[in-house]
Amino acid sequence: MSKSSRGFGFGRRSGTVTVIEQKVHRSSERHARLAFVITVLIVGVVTMVVASDKMHPILAGLLAAPIATLAGALVWLLVRVWPVLRLIWWWSFEIGAGMALVYGWVTLANATPAVVTLAVMAPLVGIPTAIPAVRRRVIAVGWCVAVRHRLRVCFSQFIIANKSGSLPLILWARPTPVGERVWVYLRPGLSLTKLQPRLDEIAVTCGASSVLVELASESKRAAYLRFDIKRREVLTAKVNSPLPGVVDTGKAAPRVAPESVPTALDLPDVPAESPLATAAKAAATSNGRKPATGKPTPATPPVEDDPWD
């Protein structure tokens, strides 16, 4: 679906604004027809079988025809307008915020004087501007809205999904200390393995330093993914510690002498020497000989007699 426009002024110009791509439009039309036929057949047969128990089969068929046609028309309409519903979902935050702003302003202006209207609107604009914490929160929510659109651009421009051109469903996003976290439900044709080599390109499109993607569900559903978009590093930031304020710098801490000075190592796992070994070392020291070590003396091989001697 596209819309042509003409420019006014010096000369003429024409352009095309694409709302829904032709590939998606044709695919939805084909799927809608198929869904209509299948729904009419299934609902018609089921309705006729159930109604045949209470009335004549011919009357049951006449009753099943309009019911099946109505059910098929509803399914056809749902499948046909799904690309539009998906487009409305992508812009739901902007549509809701715009309608709330316009409707709220008009209602407030009609119900109150101009002074009261300005007095009510001034805090709504002034508080996020004056208070840094509120301002950072508003900016974080704005980045969440922008990231959903940037991910959609990634999927539509350089990540090929499937032949019908259906894009993944970008569910919701929330701010994190390092950036944003977005949940995405993939369509057939994409997988986690195919997305991982394109993370650098996704980071460039989202204006981030890096992007991580992993399974978002504990049940390990391969189509349900979580994108972690990282814009800043919080681990290297300086953190104010309260410990310096606890230390009293007015007087020096008194020195405390140890109760006992250790003179030897306490090795309970090493067995102490027996009294006989201690007495043998003392006797060898008193005789002026060096105490024997624990190494064994190598044995001297015996000398054999020469039979020719």
How many domains does the chain contain in total?
A: 3
Compute the mean pLDDT over every residue in the chain, rounded to the nearest whole number: 78
Tell me, what's the pLDDT at 30?
85
The domain boundary, picked from 186, 219, 235, lies at 235
In a domain, 116, yes or no: yes
In a domain, 218, yes or no: yes
Q: What DSSP designation does 71 have?
A: H
In a domain, 30, yes or no: yes
Instruction: Please compute the mean of the pLDDT values over residues 246-262 and round it to a whole number.
Output: 69
CB contact set of 32 (below 8 Å; sequence gap of 6+): 76, 77, 79, 80
Q: Is residue 156 located within the same domain as residue 222?
A: yes
CATH code of the domain covering residue 231? 3.30.980.40
Q: Is residue 170 located within the same domain as residue 214?
A: yes
In a domain, 230, yes or no: yes
Q: Is residue 84 located within the same domain as residue 101?
A: no
Q: pLDDT tens-digit profile of 56-95?
A: 888 888 888 999 999 999 999 998 888 888 888 888 888 8
Beta strands of the chain (E only): which ranges?
A: 2-6, 14-18, 169-176, 179-185, 210-215, 224-230
Q: pLDDT tens-digit profile of 124-169?
A: 778 877 888 888 898 999 999 999 999 988 988 888 766 666 788 8
Instruction: Please compute the mean of the pLDDT values over residues 46-51 and round it to a whole number.
Output: 90
Tell me, what's the pLDDT at 119?
83
Hey, is 3 helix, strand or coil?
strand
State the pTM of this model: 0.59
Q: Is residue 75 located within the same domain as residue 32?
A: yes
Query: Residue 214 is part of which domain span?
Result: 147-235
Identity of the residue numbered 177: P
In a domain, 60, yes or no: yes
Tell which wins on pLDDT, 105 or 288: 105
Hey, is 197 helix, strand or coil?
helix
In a domain, 142, yes or no: no
CA separation for the pair 227, 75 (Å, rounded): 33
